[in-house]
C-alpha cells in the first residue's frame, strides 16, 4: 500500500538529533565481508531498505546473514560462497550492490553480476569498473544485462581513473586485496566512505595505504591473511547535512550528535555564508543555529572534498527563500535537478538551463502535493515542506526510505509536525473517524 508523508510547515525545530551509520559506507563494508572466511559483524548499521537488499544479495551468494535491530548490527558469515551470480531482481534495485563484483572477483576469481539500478539521477556508467578489473587480469564481457568477469589470477598494476569514481575505486580496491603484487589507483575517489572501506579491509588483514588521497596503493595478501572482524561504520554525513539544513530552514537551533564534522567542511562553509551559525560542541557533535533570513550563495558540486552532489538539492531548497539569486551548478549528474518542478509547485522561482539553476529567493514557500523522484530530491522536499506555509504531502517516499532511518520519528523529536500515512488512513480520516496524528501515534 502506498505510503505518504504529511508535513505542516512553519514550526521552529529545536532539540537534538542522533545520526545513524553511513548508508554509503556500510553497504560496501557488507560486500567486503565476502573476502574473509568466517563471520564478521558490523555495528552502527541503519535499518534501511538498501541494507535489507544488500543482505539479500549476500544470502543469494551463499553467505549467512543476520540483522539485530536492538544492536543496529549485521552479521555476515562468508565461510562458504556457493553462488557467483548476483541477480538482476536485486542489483537493479540498488546500485551500491554492484560492488559485490570486485569482492567476488577477488575471492572467487569469477563473478556474474547484473548491471546496477538505483535512483534515476543520470547516467552512471560502469566502464571504469570494468577497465580496472581488466587491468588486473580479468576477462570481462557484458551479456543480457549481466557483467561476466573471470580471471585465472589477479595481478597488481597501475590503474588511472579518468574521473574519481567512488564505485570504481571501491570495486578495484576489493578485487586488488587478494591480487599478486601491488595495485596503485591514481585519481582515486577520496570520500570518507572510501577511507572507511580501507580501514575495514586493513582490520581484516589487507594492506592498503593512501585512502583519502588521490592515490591508493593496495599490496596484495594471501587469502589466509584475511580474518573476519567486528567493526563500527562511520556516521552518515549526508543525513547529518539534512538535519543541519532542517534547523537552518526553520530558523531553529539544535545539536547534531554522532557526526564527523570534518566530513562536512565544504557544506558547513556554504551554510555559514548563507547566515547559519555552526559551531563544534564536542569532537562528534555540532550546534546549528539560524535566526535571520538566508543570503544567496553559489554552489558547484564536485567530488570530495568539494560540495557533495548528495546535498545539492537540500542547498537548493534553502536557496528558494534566500535573499538574492543563487547559482547552483551540478557537475556530476545530468538529472540531479529533479526536485525543481516540485519546488516550483511551492512557489519557488527557479530557472534551469542544463546543469545550471538560477534560484531567486522568494519570501516564503507554500504547501503543495509533492512527489519524490529520487532519494535526495525527496529529502529536499521534506526540508521545503518544513519551512512552507500550510500542509504538504509527499508521495513516493520509498525513495526517501532508502537513505533515512526513522525519518519522521527523528523529525518529530525536534518539533516537526510530520506523519506517515497510507491511502487507507486518509480514507478513515475523510470518514470522520479520527485525525491523522491520532491514527499514527
Q: Which of 177, 180, 178, 174 is nearest to 194 (CA)?
A: 174
Q: How far is 164 from 135, CA to CA, in rounded Å?
A: 17
Q: Count the Cβ atoms, other than its own, within 10 Å of residue 371.
A: 18
Lowest mean pLDDT among 11-25, 275-289, 424-438: 424-438
Residue 427 has pLDDT above 80, yes or no: no
- Same domain for 212 and 285, yes or no, is no
- Same domain for 142 and 200, yes or no, is yes
Tell me which residue range forms the domain holding 203.
23-232
- Same domain for 10 and 29, yes or no, is no
β-partners of residue 393 are: 6, 369
What the block records as the C-alpha cell of 153 is 589470477
Residue 92: predicted pLDDT: 85
- Same domain for 389 and 287, yes or no, is yes
Q: How confident is the model at residue 426 (pLDDT cuts 50, 70, 90)?
A: low
- Same domain for 47 and 30, yes or no, is yes
Question: What are the pLDDT digits (tens) for 223-235?
Answer: 999 999 999 999 9
Question: What are the pLDDT digits (tens) for 30-74?
Answer: 999 999 999 999 999 999 989 999 999 999 999 999 999 999 999
Total domains, the chain: 2
Q: How confident is the model at residue 290 (pLDDT cuts 50, 70, 90)?
A: very high
- Same domain for 260 and 218, yes or no, is no
Q: What's the alpha-carbon Rg for the chain, to the nearest Å?
A: 22
Residue 423: predicted pLDDT: 77
Q: How far is 203 from 226, CA to CA, in rounded Å?
A: 9
Q: How confident is the model at residue 332 (pLDDT cuts 50, 70, 90)?
A: confident
Pairing mode, if any, of strands 391-395 and 3-8? antiparallel
pTM of the full structure: 0.93
CATH number at residue 190: 3.65.10.10
Catalytic residues: 119
Residue 123: predicted pLDDT: 42
Mean pLDDT, all residues of the chain:
93
Pairing mode, if any, of strands 349-353 and 356-360? antiparallel
Q: How far is 336 from 6, CA to CA, in rounded Å?
A: 24
- Same domain for 187 and 263, yes or no, is no
- Same domain for 255 and 108, yes or no, is no
Residue 250: predicted pLDDT: 98
Reduced to 3 states, what is the DSSP secondary structure of residue 310?
helix
Residue 120: predicted pLDDT: 43
Residues 6+ apart with CB under 8 A from 154: 105, 106, 109, 136, 137, 138, 175, 176, 178, 179, 180, 220
Average pLDDT estimate for 77-81:
97
Q: State which of 200, 232, 264 marks the end of a domain.
A: 232
Average pLDDT estimate for 399-415:
95
- Same domain for 239 and 204, yes or no, is no
Q: State which of 198, 215, 232 marks the end of a domain.
A: 232
Question: What are the pLDDT digits (tens) for 181-206?
Answer: 999 999 999 999 999 999 999 999 99
Please report, rounded to a whole number, the percentage of residues in the chain having pLDDT higher than 90: 87
Question: What are the pLDDT digits (tens) for 92-140?
Answer: 888 888 999 999 999 999 999 998 854 443 344 689 999 999 999 999 9
Amino acid at each position: 500500500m502506498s505510503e505518504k508523508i504529511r508535513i505542516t510547515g512553519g514550526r521552529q525545530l529545536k532539540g537534538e538529533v542522533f545520526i545513524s551509520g553511513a548508508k554509503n559506507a556500510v553497504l560496501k563494508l557488507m560486500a567486503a565481508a565476502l573476502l574473509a572466511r568466517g563471520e564478521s559483524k558490523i555495528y552502527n548499521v541503519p535499518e534501511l531498505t538498501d541494507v535489507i537488499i544488500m543482505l539479500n544479495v549476500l544470502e543469494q551468494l551463499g553467505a549467512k546473514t543476520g540483522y539485530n535491530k536492538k544492536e543496529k548490527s549485521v552479521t555476515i558469515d562468508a565461510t562458504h560462497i556457493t553462488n557467483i551470480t548476483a541477480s538482476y531482481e536485486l542489483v537493479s534495485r540498488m546500485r551500491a550492490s554492484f560492488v559485490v563484483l570486485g569482492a567476488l572477483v577477488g575471492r572467487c576469481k569469477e563473478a556474474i553480476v547484473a548491471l546496477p539500478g538505483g535512483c534515476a539521477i543520470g547516467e552512471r556508467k560502469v566502464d571504469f569498473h570494468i577497465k580496472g578489473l581488466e587491468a588486473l587480469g580479468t576477462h570481462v564481457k557484458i551479456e543480457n544485462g549481466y557483467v561476466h568477469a573471470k580471471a585465472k589470477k589477479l595481478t597488481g598494476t597501475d590503474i588511472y581513473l579518468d574521473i574519481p569514481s567512488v564505485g570504481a575505486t571501491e570495486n578495484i580496491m576489493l578485487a586488488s586485496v587478494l591480487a599478486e603484487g601491488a595495485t596503485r589507483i591514481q585519481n582515486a575517489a577520496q570520500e570518507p566512505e572510501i577511507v572507511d572501506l580501507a580501514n575495514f579491509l586493513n582490520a581484516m588483514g589487507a594492506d592498503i595505504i593512501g585512502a583519502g588521497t588521490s592515490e591508493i596503493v593496495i599490496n596484495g595478501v594471501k587469502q589466509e591473511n584475511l580474518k573476519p572482524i567486528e567493526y563500527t561504520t562511520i556516521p552518515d554525513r549526508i543525513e547529518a547535512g539534512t538535519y543541519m539544513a532542517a534547523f537552518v530552514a526553520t530558523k531553529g537551533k539544535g545539536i547534531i550528535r554522532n557526526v564527523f564534522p570534518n566530513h562536512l567542511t565544504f557544506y558547513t562553509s556554504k551554510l555559514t555564508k548563507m547566515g547559519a551559525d555552526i559551531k563544534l560542541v564536542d569532537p562528534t557533535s555540532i550546534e546549528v543555529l539560524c535566526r535571520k533570513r538566508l543570503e544567496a550563495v553559489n554552489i558547484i558540486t564536485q567530488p570530495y572534498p568539494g560540495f557533495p552532489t548528495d546535498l545539492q538539492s537540500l542547498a537548493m531548497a534553502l536557496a528558494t527563500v534566500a535573499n538574492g539569486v543563487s547559482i547552483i551548478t551540478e557537475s556530476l549528474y545530468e538529472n540531479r535537478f529533479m526536485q525543481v518542478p516540485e519546488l516550483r509547485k511551492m512557489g519557488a522561482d527557479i530557472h534551469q538551463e542544463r546543469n545550471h539553476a538560477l534560484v531567486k529567493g522568494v519570501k516564503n514557500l507554500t504547501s503543495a502535493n509533492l512527489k519524490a523522484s529520487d532519494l535526495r530530491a525527496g529529502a529536499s522536499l521534506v526540508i521545503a515542506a518544513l519551512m512552507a506555509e500550510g500542509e504538504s504531502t509527499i508521495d513516493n517516499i520509498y525513495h526517501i526510505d532508502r537513505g533515512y532511518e526513522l525519518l519522521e520519528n527523528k523529525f518529530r523529536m525536534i518539533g516537526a509536525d510530520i506523519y506517515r500515512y497510507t491511502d487507507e488512513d486518509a480514507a478513515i480520516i475523510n470518514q470522520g473517524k479520527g485525525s491523522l496524528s491520532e491514527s499514527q501515534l
